[in-house]
Amino acid sequence: MCGIFGVTAKPEADFSRSFTEQLMRGLFKLSESRGKEAAGIALHAPDAIYLAKYALPASKVIDRAEYRQVFNRAFSTNGGPKPATCIIGHSRLVTNGGHQVHANNQPAVTSGMVGIHNGIITNVDHLWAEYPALDRQTDLDTEVLLSLIRQFYGQTGDLVQGIQSTFDRIEGVASTAILFTDLNLLALITNNGSLYLGSDSGGGAHVFASERHILEVLFSENKLRDRLADFTIRHIEPGTGLLISLDNLDTHTFTLQANGQGQNGTVSFQPLTVPKDIVDLSPRAAIEHVPQRIPGEGPYVLAPSFVDEYPHSKEAIAHLRRCTRCVLPETMPFIEFDDDGVCNYCRDYRPIDYKGLDALAEMLKPYRKTDGSPDCLVPLSGGRDSSYVLHFLKTVVGMNPLSYTYDWGMVTDLARRNQMRLCGKLGVEHILVSANLARKRANIRKNVSAWLKQPDLGMVPLFMAGDKQHLYYANKVARETQTRMAIFGENLLETTRFKSGFCGLAPKYGTSTTYALSLADKFRMAWYYGVRYLKNPAYLNSSMLDTIGAYISYYVISHNQINLFQYIQWDEDQIVPVLIDEYNWETAPDTTTTWRIGDGTASFYNYIYYTIAGLTENDTFRSNQVREGVIDRDTAIRLVDVENQPRYESMQWYCDVIGIDFYDAVRRINAASRLYPRS
407 and 484 share a domain?
Answer: yes
Q: What is the mean pLDDT of residues 390-408?
A: 96
What total number of domains does the chain contain? 2
Q: For residue 427, tell me if it sits in a domain.
A: yes
The four Cα atoms 88, 93, 97, 100 give a dihedral, to 10 degrees, of: 90
Give the relative orientation of helices 65-74 and 17-31 as an angle to the nearest 10 degrees.
140
Backbone angles phi, psi at 529, to 5 degrees: -65, -40
- pLDDT for 14: 77
Which CATH number covers residue 656? 3.40.50.620
Q: For residue 298, tell me if it sits in a domain.
A: no
197 and 326 share a domain?
Answer: no
Give the number of C-alpha atoms closer than 13 A to the C-alpha of residue 119, restricted to the C-beta side: 36
3-class secondary structure for 275-326? CCEEEECCCHHHHHCCCCCCCCCCCCCCCCCCCCCHHHHHHHHCCCCECCCC
User: CA-to-CA distance for 579 and 314, rounded, in angstroms?
Assistant: 33
Q: Is residue 141 within 8 Å of 96, Cβ to Cβ?
A: yes
Whether residue 160 is predicted with pLDDT greater than 80 in this model: the reply is yes
- pLDDT for 132: 95
- pLDDT for 548: 83
Q: Is residue 236 within 8 Å of 244, Cβ to Cβ?
A: no
Q: What is the mean pLDDT of residues 554-561?
A: 77
Over pLDDT 90: what percentage of the chain?
A: 70
- pLDDT for 349: 94
Q: Is residue 588 within 8 Å of 653, Cβ to Cβ?
A: no
3-class secondary structure for 440-474? HHHHHHHHHHHHHHCCCHHHHHHHHHHHCCHHHHH
561 and 614 share a domain?
Answer: yes
User: 58-112, pLDDT tens digit by residue?
Assistant: 999 999 999 999 988 877 644 554 555 799 999 988 776 677 788 889 999 999 9
User: CA-to-CA distance for 559 and 64, rounded, in angstroms?
Assistant: 41
Nearest to 14 by CA among 114, 103, 82: 82
- pLDDT for 469: 87
233 and 314 share a domain?
Answer: no
Give one word for 413, left, alpha or beta, with left for phi > 0 and alpha for psi -120 to 50: alpha
Domain end, chosen from 288, 322, 342, is at 288
Q: Is residue 249 within 8 Å of 10, Cβ to Cβ?
A: yes
- pLDDT for 522: 80
618 and 495 share a domain?
Answer: yes
- pLDDT for 101: 82
Q: For residue 228, tell me if it sits in a domain.
A: yes
Alpha helices in 536-672 (DSSP H): 544-555, 572-583, 602-613, 617-628, 633-643, 648-658, 662-671
Backbone angles phi, psi at 672, to 5 degrees: -70, 155
DSSP string, 514-533: TT---HHHHHHHHHHHHHHH
Q: For residue 304, tell me if it sits in a domain.
A: no
User: CA-to-CA distance for 198 and 234, rounded, in angstroms?
Assistant: 6
Cis peptide before 366 (omega within 30 of 0): no
User: CA-to-CA distance for 34 and 56, rounded, in angstroms?
Assistant: 14
Q: For residue 540, tell me if it sits in a domain.
A: yes
Q: Is residue 174 within 8 Å of 189, Cβ to Cβ?
A: yes
Please, is 133 exposed, middle or buried when counting C-beta atoms within 10 Å of its C-beta (0-12, 13-18, 19+)?
A: exposed
DSSP string, 335-384: --B-TTS-BHHHHT--------HHHHHHHHGGG--SSSS--EEEE--SSH
User: CA-to-CA distance for 7 and 23, rounded, in angstroms?
Assistant: 8
Whether residue 511 is predicted with pLDDT greater than 70 in this model: the reply is no
Domain end, chosen from 288, 320, 348, is at 288
Give the bridge partners for 75, in sequence order: 81
187 and 248 share a domain?
Answer: yes
- pLDDT for 264: 45
Length of the chain: 679
Whether residue 263 is predicted with pLDDT greater than 70 in this model: the reply is no
525 and 449 share a domain?
Answer: yes
User: 198-237, pLDDT tens digit by residue?
Assistant: 999 888 899 999 999 999 999 998 888 888 889 999 999 9
Nearest to 93 by CA among 175, 34, 138: 34
The separation between the first and the last C-alpha atoms of the chain, rounded to the nearest angstrom, is: 48
Report the amino acid identity of residue 327.
V
Which CATH number covers residue 30? 3.60.20.10
Q: Is residue 253 within 8 Å of 189, Cβ to Cβ?
A: no
Report the amino acid identity of residue 501.
G
The Cβ of residue 132 has, within 10 Å, a number of other Cβ atoms equal to 8
Residue 498 binned pLDDT confidence (cut-offs 50, 70, 90) = very high
CA geometry: angle at 494 spanning 490 and 495, to 5°?
A: 100
Which has the higher per-residue pLDDT, 545 or 509? 545
Q: Which run of H or of E encompasses 269?
A: none
DSSP string, 140-190: -HHHHHHHHHHHHHHHHS-HHHHHHHHHTT--B--EEEEEESSSSEEEEEE
Q: For residue 300, tell me if it sits in a domain.
A: no
Domain end, chosen from 238, 256, 288, is at 288
Nearest to 598 by CA among 394, 446, 422, 462: 422
Per the structure, the complete domain to which residue 29 belongs is given by 3-288
372 and 244 share a domain?
Answer: no
53 and 198 share a domain?
Answer: yes
Write down the mean pLDDT value for the chain: 90
Give one word for 294, left, alpha or beta, with left for phi > 0 and alpha for psi -120 to 50: beta
Q: For residue 511, tell me if it sits in a domain.
A: yes
Backbone angles phi, psi at 279, to 5 degrees: -115, 120
Whether residue 334 is predicted with pLDDT greater than 90 in this model: the reply is yes
Q: Which run of H or of E encompasses 34?
A: none
Q: For residue 296, tell me if it sits in a domain.
A: no
Give the relative orientation of helices 437-453 and 544-555 as an angle to the nearest 10 degrees.
100
Report the amino acid identity of residue 353.
D
3-class secondary structure for 243-259? EEECCCCCEEEEECCCC
User: CA-to-CA distance for 175 and 270, rounded, in angstroms?
Assistant: 25
Residue 559 binned pLDDT confidence (cut-offs 50, 70, 90) = confident
User: CA-to-CA distance for 405 and 477, rounded, in angstroms?
Assistant: 10
Whether residue 290 is predicted with pLDDT greater than 70 in this model: the reply is no
445 and 538 share a domain?
Answer: yes
224 and 322 share a domain?
Answer: no
Which has the higher per-residue pLDDT, 284 or 193? 193
User: 619-656, pLDDT tens digit by residue?
Assistant: 999 999 999 999 999 999 999 999 999 999 999 999 99
User: CA-to-CA distance for 468 and 389, rounded, in angstroms?
Assistant: 20
Q: What's the Cα-to-Cα distance from 55 to each of 103, 141, 407, rounded to whole Å?
A: 11, 18, 18
227 and 148 share a domain?
Answer: yes
